[in-house]
Amino acid sequence: MSWALPEWTVLAVLREEPRHGFAIAALTADGGELGRVWQVPRPLVYRALRRLQEGELVAATAVESGPGPQRTRYAATSAGCVAVDAWLGAPVEHVRDIRSHLLMKLALLDRRGIDPAPLLARQREVLEPIAQAVATERARHSGFDAVLLAWRQSTAEAALAFLEDVARTR
């Protein structure tokens, strides 16, 4: 099954330690530690939990009772840990995913104290040929096609500069 960023984020947070959906939603809300990177609204957190449980990547471990509603605590399964670790180490395939997926991966790696250097190097290997191909293609076009390719080239080059900057400052 193909997972979207909300599922990967929820799974990665559960890889750190078991939590209930409300705690995950607080992390991914506006003002939350991960929400400053990419916000995952509470309904999407609970949908992600359901989908991940159906995929056997997370499992309910306990039900907490107290003042307020009962909350089910979830933990990543062994398969979930393997899957999210692979996802965290994999570069994004599209420049447009740098802002969402790559930044979230970097935030999640930082939370676990994992060096992002290998991911940054792999990401550079993916982006360099994209930037070169766009530059080559741009030279063969005019009009709006050239404008669009100029945007794509600038974005790819900015992403590469970002990777270099992050790698240098780590």
Domain boundaries along the sequence of the chain: 5-91, 117-169
| Closest among 113, 101, 77 to 8, alpha carbons compared | 101
pLDDT bracket for residue 1 (50, 70, 90): low
State the average pLDDT for the chain: 95
pLDDT of residue 169 exceeding 90, the answer is no
CB atoms within 10 A of CB 155: 17
pLDDT of residue 89 exceeding 80, the answer is yes
Instruction: For residues 62 and 16, give the distance between their C-alpha atoms in angstroms, rounded to a whole number.
Output: 17
> Looking at residue 84, what is its pLDDT?
98
pLDDT of residue 94 exceeding 90, the answer is yes
Host H or E run for residue 109: helix 103-112
Instruction: For residues 109 and 95, give the distance between their C-alpha atoms in angstroms, rounded to a whole number.
Output: 20
> Looking at residue 67, what is its pLDDT?
80
Single pTM value for the model: 0.92
User: Does domain 5-91 bear CATH number 1.10.10.10?
Assistant: yes
**Mean of pLDDT values over 30-36:** 96
Q: What is the pLDDT of residues 49-72, one digit of tens each?
A: 999 999 999 999 999 887 878 899
Burial 116-150 (b: 16+ CB within 10 A, else e): beebbeebeebbeebbeebeeebeeeeeeeeeebe
| DSSP per-residue string spanning 43-90 | HHHHHHHHHHHHTTSEEEEEEEEESEEEEEEEEE-HHHHHHHHHHHHS
> Looking at residue 170, what is its pLDDT?
74
pLDDT of residue 21 exceeding 80, the answer is yes
Q: What angle do CA 18, 120, 58 make, to 5 degrees?
A: 20
Host H or E run for residue 4: none
Q: What is the pLDDT of residues 104-162, one digit of tens each?
A: 999 999 999 999 999 999 999 999 999 999 999 999 999 999 999 999 999 999 999 99
Higher pLDDT, 14 or 139: 14
> Looking at residue 161, what is its pLDDT?
96
